[in-house]
Structure 1
Amino acid sequence: MIFFKIINKQKLLMFSFFIIIFLFSNMFYGERGLISYFKNLKIKDQLVAEKTYIENELNIVEKKNNLLRVDLDLDYLEILYRKMFVVGKKDEKIFTYNYFK
């Protein structure tokens, strides 16, 4: 009986204690807690970095696409052909140099 009297007198204190413990546990470990915030912040940084990489790749593809339209940029095509086929013009002299000899 003494136990019940003590509990009845301090119901507010016990209720407040459990509410405070609940709030602090949710503040740190809950779905919107501090730990989840830092995890989401790290994910956000990764996604922003991925977004900038994809935007750069898109700009490169758009640039190449614009250069290969109806009004062709012949200088750009010549640069591409030279890189791909390693050739020169008719009157050009091509010197090969073996660097590792």
Structure 2
Amino acid sequence: MLNKLKKNYFLLISTFLILYFFFNLLDGERGLFSYFKKKEILVNLQNVEADLSNKIKNLEFKNSLLSGNLDLDYVEILIREKFLFGKEGETLYIIEKNDN
């Protein structure tokens, strides 16, 4: 048995090394599966970043309407939405969303 191991020593070592590198290639910290997981996380974070930057731009635009040159139409929209305020003779209708 020992003679067979000595004859096939190079074959055994090379087989184990190939298996080791193959498994690390697929499943290691920097392996193929880890790469795809990290790539998916990156795409999700980029989507979140885009959503947040759009919200920031929207808030900056609304803030610009309330500072400097005051936009009276926007102020009226805010008053109507927040305080359910209407003019004399107007009828206000409140429509609630029904997600059925």
TM-score, normalised by the number of residues in structure 2: 0.80
Q: 2:34 aligns with which of 30, 33, 36?
A: 36
Counterpart of 1:70?
68
Is the alpha carbon distance of 1:63 and 1:22 closer, same or farther for their aligned partners in structure 2, counting shifts above 3 Å? same
Q: RMSD value over aligned CA atoms?
A: 2.1
Contact kept in structure 1, 2:65 and 2:74, CA below 8 Å = yes
Is the alpha carbon distance of 1:52 and 1:69 closer, same or farther for their aligned partners in structure 2, counting shifts above 3 Å? same
The letter for the 2-side match of 1:50 is V
Alignment coverage as a number of residue pairs: 95
Q: List runs of 5+ in structure 1 lacking aligned partners.
A: none
Deviation of the 1:98 alpha carbon: 9.0
Counterpart of 1:12?
10
- The 2-side partners of 1:4 and 1:46 are apart by 56
Q: 1:94 aligns with which of 72, 79, 90?
A: 90
SS at match of 1:50: helix
Q: Which one has the largest radius of gyration?
A: 1
- The 1-side partners of 2:61 and 2:93 are apart by 34
Moved over 3 A (4+): 96-99
Q: List runs of 5+ in structure 2 lacking aligned partners.
A: 96-100
- The 1-side partners of 2:37 and 2:94 are apart by 53
- The 1-side partners of 2:64 and 2:28 are apart by 50
